[in-house]
Structure 1
Amino acid sequence: MITGYGIVAKELIKLLSEKQELLIDTYKISFKVTAIVGSKGMIYEEAGLDLPKLLQYGAGSTALMRYAREQRLSLQPPIFREDMLIECSPTDVQTGGAALEYIKNALQANMNIVSVSKGALVCAMPELLKMAKEKECKIKYSGATAAALPTLDIGEFSLAGCKITKIEGILNGTSNFILTKMSEENKSFEAALQIAQESGIAEANPDLDIKGIDSACKILLLANGLLGSQLTLEDIAIQGIMEVTKRDIQHAKINGNDIKLIASASLANRDVRVEVKPKIIKSDNPLIDVKGTNKGILFYTEEMGTICCTGGASHPKGAAAAALKDMINLYR
């Protein structure tokens, strides 16, 4: 079952349609999508939706309505009765939005959760994890913590048994693109933002990206998931990139450094401090080489030293692939 049918959900449908044989051959599993919930209602077919046909109609509720007409289905209120919910609704970091209600209803119905949207998790992670534990369900959300960049996976699996003392990352591709343009082409913030918008990288309203809120949501989920904190957005000091000037960047570059929007979570004794702000990154820091829409993360550990991962496609297909990865790992 999928809630929300925007571009990411459509890309997930495309991946599921294209990779059916690979999933069976490699992982010995197959997935059947029986329901998709949009703003106008839910389409449901017990035998499974015709994914190639659905893909012909685009994304959004209009696509679901066209599919319903072609299949002679009636749109109905959401009913949670499958074994897994893939949550792809628009992110609402203030209230959790419809996604929060969807996830709660799914957990009540003993469904595992794969969440791509961040809002519900940011607003109610402790409550949702408690519900999941009581229902013996699992919540996977790597798609909400920098999508294609495997941030949460590294912390949970590759660093299992290690003490992580600090997490530091470039977690937002849009803001990194803007700062890269300012650094490499000597653009002003306003000019670089305009290029990002004209290229389709930045939204018409880019506030979540340039004000650091998207980065804050991601580092919050990583801190709560990997460092054992129970923080909210109100606990994070957030500073965006709007005040970064060409002069700031050129001054940093004199010594071979650069400026990046860094999200960090530090463990000191039992306290976790989380912040997002533009920082001067020294030339020996691997994050200095993260350019354009790429992202990167550093894990500082007592046992394994510093671990770095960079890259990760910053587009809907990458987020959809992260959701598919979570779906596979739930059944491994």
Structure 2
Amino acid sequence: MIKRVILAGFGNVGKEFVKLIDEKRLYIREKYDLDLILCGVLEKEGCIFEDGGIDTSYLINCPLGSQGVLKYTEHYKESYYNYPVLEGDILIECTQSNVKTGGPSINYIINSINRGMDIVMLSKGALATNFNQLMELAGKKDVKIKYSGATAAALPTMDLGVYSLAGAKIISITGVLNGTTNYILNRMFEENISFEQALKEAVEKGIAERENSMDIDGIDSASKILLLANSLMNSNYSLEDVVIKGIRDISKEDILEAKNENKVIKLLCKAYYKDEKLVLEVSPEKVHANSLLGSINGSNKGVVFNTDTMGEIYLIGGASNPRGAAAAALKDVINLCRK
């Protein structure tokens, strides 16, 4: 089976996705009878498209972003277009998340759905702002959408909820869903350093972006619990319905107080019922250090599903880096194409 793929966004995650396609092409062909052909890459300053497939081995040596697209066209001049070419079977959407407007991803996704393309999303902006609109349009066009990478990168939270918990009612979801904030809080706990010092270290190590407000202010975590709740708990919420508090104000004194109680502070995402109404929250909370969520260290993530028939299900781990997110997108592509 041949599937032609269009990639929107050639940032860190997009580039890792191209690398994975290049590295794993033969493995995927042999194991899944699936031949993935990357035909196009969309960026702000143009698009490269080749009907027979882009030279991925050349593209992965190009710079990130629009620079990479333009660099590629220096060698393959005929592949450049000054408008998005959406001629394929699957759109991989990994542009930068914009949770206020949805960003350019909205138009890419809607146009692709109208063309009958299936969608794999890694960025959260379009889903956080237009979840119902996109799902309704996909249903009308008989198009499939997957977005497990948008809910926790490599940690398969969505897959667990959709497939492994089928038939069970999810009573609550509690998780540590942002690796950057978990790393910062963990370093503050381990080294008795300030929030500012831990954040600086995370940026220097590439764990946090230089523009990190979505992470530390809890917006990224809120977007993830919103998507999980809307997908798995039949809610119809927007980001405005989530109570959000980030970790900017966490002090060394707060960390020490928790430590003296044999607890650690985690930025927890919660979806639970209160008086029969679903409540969504993100806030830093103390949890016991020897609990499963309390034991999540570094940039790892974890989630607990509480169900009516299967009890509590814990899921911990998953790479919190661009390669892990790209691998989640590749998994979604493969699952879309399974017979």
The two structures have a TM-score, normalised by structure 2, of 0.95
Q: Determine if contact 1:170/1:262 at 8 Å carries over to the other structure.
A: yes
Identify the residue that residue 3 of structure 2 maps to in structure 1.
none
Cα distance between partner residues in 1 of 2:242 and 2:195: 24
Deviations 1:119-157 (A, max 9, x none): 000000000000000000011001101101111111011
Note the C-alpha offset of 1:282.
2.1
Cα distance between partner residues in 2 of 1:227 and 1:298: 14
- SS in structure 1 opposite 2:104? helix
Cα distance between partner residues in 1 of 2:233 and 2:301: 21
Deviations 1:250-294 (A, max 9, x none): 222223211100011113475211000001112453100001111
Of residues 258-267 and 74-83 in structure 1, the stretch that sits farther from structure 2 once superposed is: 74-83
Of residues 282-291 and 147-156 in structure 1, the stretch that sits farther from structure 2 once superposed is: 282-291
Note the C-alpha offset of 1:99.
0.4
For the pair 1:72 / 2:77, whether they are aligned, the reply is: yes
The two structures have a TM-score, normalised by structure 1, of 0.97
Match of 2:287 among 260, 281, 291: 281
Identify the residue that residue 219 of structure 1 maps to in structure 2.
225
Instruction: Describe the shift of the 1:228–1:269 C-alpha distance in structure 2 as closer, same or farther (beyond 3 A).
Output: farther
Note the C-alpha offset of 1:160.
1.0
Cα distance between partner residues in 1 of 2:336 and 2:287: 37
Match of 2:265 among 259, 265, 286: 259
Question: What percent of counterpart residues are identical?
Answer: 45
For the pair 1:119 / 2:125, whether they are aligned, the reply is: yes
Pairing of 1:154-173 with structure 2 (within 5 A): 154-173=160-179
Match of 2:246 among 235, 240, 256: 240
Superposition RMSD in Å: 1.2
- SS in structure 2 opposite 1:34? strand
Cα distance between partner residues in 1 of 2:71 and 2:81: 11
- SS in structure 2 opposite 1:237? strand
Of residues 270-279 and 211-220 in structure 1, the stretch that sits farther from structure 2 once superposed is: 270-279
Q: Determine if contact 1:11/1:317 at 8 Å carries over to the other structure.
A: yes
Instruction: Describe the shift of the 1:269–1:80 C-alpha distance in structure 2 as closer, same or farther (beyond 3 A).
Output: farther
Identify the residue that residue 304 of structure 2 maps to in structure 1.
298
Of residues 202-211 and 4-13 in structure 1, the stretch that sits farther from structure 2 once superposed is: 202-211
Identify the residue that residue 61 of structure 1 maps to in structure 2.
66
Note the C-alpha offset of 1:183.
0.9
Identify the residue that residue 6 of structure 1 maps to in structure 2.
11
Note the C-alpha offset of 1:194.
1.6
Identify the residue that residue 109 of structure 2 maps to in structure 1.
103
Q: Determine if contact 1:227/1:267 at 8 Å carries over to the other structure.
A: no
Of residues 197-206 and 217-226 in structure 1, the stretch that sits farther from structure 2 once superposed is: 197-206
Identify the residue that residue 158 of structure 2 maps to in structure 1.
152
For the pair 1:18 / 2:23, whether they are aligned, the reply is: yes
Identify the residue that residue 37 of structure 1 maps to in structure 2.
42
- SS in structure 2 opposite 1:208? helix
Q: Determine if contact 2:195/2:252 at 8 Å carries over to the other structure.
A: yes
Identify the residue that residue 210 of structure 1 maps to in structure 2.
216
- SS in structure 1 opposite 2:313? strand
Identify the residue that residue 140 of structure 1 maps to in structure 2.
146
Cα distance between partner residues in 1 of 2:219 and 2:128: 11
Gaps of 5+ in 1: none
The aligned amino acid for 1:164 is: I
Identify the residue that residue 91 of structure 2 maps to in structure 1.
85
Note the C-alpha offset of 1:53.
1.3
Cα distance between partner residues in 1 of 2:66 and 2:200: 30
